[in-house]
Amino acid sequence: MINTNRLRNGARAAAIALGLFSITGILGMAQAQNRPQEVNVFSGRHYNTDKELYAEFTRRTGIKVNLLEGKDDELIQRLKSEGRNSKADLLVLVDAARLYRAQEDNLFRPIRSAELNKDVPANLRDPGGRWFALTRRARPVMVNTAQVNPNLIRTYADLTRPELKGKLCLRNRASVYSQSLVADELVRRGAPSTRRWVEGLVANRKGSFYTSDTTMVRAVGQGQCGATIANQYYLARMLRGDNAADREAAKKVRVVWPNPTHVNVTAGGVTQSSRNPEGARRLLEFLASPTSGEGYAAANNEYPLKGWGNNPTLKAFGTFKSSPVSMEQLGRRNREAVQLMTQAGWQ
Ligand SMILES: [Fe+2]
């Protein structure tokens, strides 16, 4: 005999359960929609003006930006060890060498964006869409004119001239700045010429290799070095800074633009672990756009992605012809560059 009561009760229970389920389902969806969106940025940059740009992005989109700053290599290590559990949505790194390492470690997810393809020149982004440049920096020669005639230097190759013997201060091999500079030469001039060039630089150097660009620029200003190769923003920072002694030293430094000049970037990419890749992409598009790109570059006396920007200190340095070598090529030749430097005694 069928117990209709039990059936009825069962149906009622099922209906209640279903009702509850759908109510919680709706509630859950509503919560997801109302929950403010967030993007977690892991960044190798440390400039207060960056935070103003992130705040502007939040005002425009409602997407909150949480910033975690750290040293580039430590951020890469952290993302590698956290894997899929990492909270990072956007990873911002400096220098093609590091971007390439992070790419090889599969930390970035490829994204497609017509806006990024329009705003970021092709040689300044990964062809696979994994990272996109946000600012440019250049690595010119800097000279103390009391010691070295700037007219002697038209290319990086001129730094091996006998007139510069014992006058050249060089950044150490561990620096990605040095590595990318050598990689640039490798792409443009091939291995045999680059090897001779690296040996010539090492032979012309004065004293031991430097571990900081700031110290090298200061040494040129103070006359301890005749010439060096350093990123333009270190000199700009000293010229605009509060330290009077540094300002005086910096005034004695002349920027000489080799033709072509090595250029590198700050770039960002959406992470593999991102739980909000859409929001991360929108932030990347915002930062790379001409309006905010200008501000992002200005924070560190860097150049925007296109043109020269409005920074008066940088304008006074004059303009230069950029190396045509792409950031991706710099990354690909990095290992070879380091090997060559090691063999030539670049410490
Ligand atoms: Fe730097």
CATH number at 270 reads 3.40.190.10
Does a structural domain hold residue 121?
yes
Q: With a threshold of 0.85, does the pTM exceed it?
A: yes
Q: Over 70: is that where the pLDDT of 143 sits?
A: yes
Q: What is the mean pLDDT of residues 191-220?
A: 98
Q: Over 80: is that where the pLDDT of 91 sits?
A: yes
**pLDDT band at residue 35, thresholds of 50, 70 and 90?**
low
At 24 the pLDDT is 43
More confident residue, 108 or 10: 108
**Ligand 1 center to 231 CA (angstroms):** 7
* Cα within 13 Å of Cα(168), Cβ side: 26
Does a structural domain hold residue 202?
yes
Q: Over 50: is that where the pLDDT of 4 sits?
A: no
Q: What are the tens digits of pLDDT across the range 208-236?
A: 999 999 999 999 999 999 999 999 999 99
**Whole-angstrom distance, CA of residue 69 vs CA of residue 56:** 19
Does a structural domain hold residue 52?
yes
**pLDDT band at residue 31, thresholds of 50, 70 and 90?**
very low
Does a structural domain hold residue 109?
yes
Are 174 and 48 found together in one domain?
no
**Whole-angstrom distance, CA of residue 224 vs CA of residue 147:** 10
The structure tokens 């005002």 sit at 59
Are 132 and 202 found together in one domain?
no
Are 339 and 215 found together in one domain?
yes
Q: What is the mean pLDDT of residues 12-35?
A: 46
Per the prediction, the chain carries an average pLDDT of 92
Are 218 and 326 found together in one domain?
yes
The structure tokens 């969106």 sit at 37
Q: Which of 12-26, 59-73, 150-164, 265-279 has the lowest mean pLDDT?
A: 12-26
**Ligand 1 center to 232 CA (angstroms):** 9
Are 186 and 334 found together in one domain?
yes
**Ligand 1 center to 297 CA (angstroms):** 13
Burial 81-107 (b: 16+ CB within 10 A, else e): eeeeebebbbbbbbbbbbbbbbbeeeb
At 46 the pLDDT is 84
**Helix axes of 96-104 and 176-204: crossing angle, nearest 10 degrees:** 130
Are 329 and 218 found together in one domain?
yes
Element (H, E) at 22: helix 4-34
**Ligand 1 center to 212 CA (angstroms):** 9
Range of the domain at 212: 138-262+314-343
**Whole-angstrom distance, CA of residue 281 vs CA of residue 287:** 10
At 28 the pLDDT is 42
Q: What is the mean pLDDT of residues 198-205?
A: 98
Q: Over 70: is that where the pLDDT of 274 sits?
A: yes
**Ligand 1 center to 213 CA (angstroms):** 7
At 117 the pLDDT is 98
Q: Over 80: is that where the pLDDT of 32 sits?
A: no
Strand partners, 92: 43, 268
Count of structural domains within the chain: 2
* Cα within 13 Å of Cα(290), Cβ side: 8
**Whole-angstrom distance, CA of residue 293 vs CA of residue 303:** 9
Q: Over 60: is that where the pLDDT of 26 sits?
A: no
Q: Over 80: is that where the pLDDT of 319 sits?
A: yes
Q: DSSP letters along 144-181, please?
A: ETTTS-GGG-SSGGGGGSGGGTTTEE-B-TTSHHHHHH
Q: Over 80: is that where the pLDDT of 240 sits?
A: yes
Are 287 and 150 found together in one domain?
no
Are 109 and 66 found together in one domain?
yes
**Ligand 1 center to 220 CA (angstroms):** 17
**Ligand 1 center to 172 CA (angstroms):** 13
Closest alpha carbon to 305 in 314, 293, 315: 293
At 293 the pLDDT is 87
At 48 the pLDDT is 79
Are 151 and 75 found together in one domain?
no
At 162 the pLDDT is 97
